[in-house]
Amino acid sequence: MPPLDSADMDPRPPPDPAKLLGFWMEWERAETPPGRVMSNLKTGGLRELLEALVEGRPVAS
């Protein structure tokens, strides 16, 4: 069986704006350190969400 490459793996689910806002609010309430918040925003798809908004594409959630 041939090895899998990254194109064969399932893509991440679309960004969830409500979840991203929840991560942000945890930081504002000082419940989560900034480094953890940045990590959560990155893995949660903040970049993809912002790119879709800038390009005028609909954001699936």
pLDDT for 11: 78
pLDDT for 45: 95
pLDDT for 8: 59
- Cα 26 from Cα 3, distance rounded (Å): 40
Cα four-point dihedral sign 38, 42, 43, 44: positive
**Which value, to the nearest 10 degrees, does the dihedral of the CA atoms of residues 39, 41, 47, 50 take?**
-160
pTM metric for this prediction: 0.74
- H or E element at residue 16: none
pLDDT for 3: 67
pLDDT in tens, the chain (61 residues): 666 665 556 677 899 999 999 999 999 999 999 999 999 999 999 999 999 999 998 776 5
Q: How far is CA 36 from CA 41, 52, 61, in A?
A: 9, 24, 23
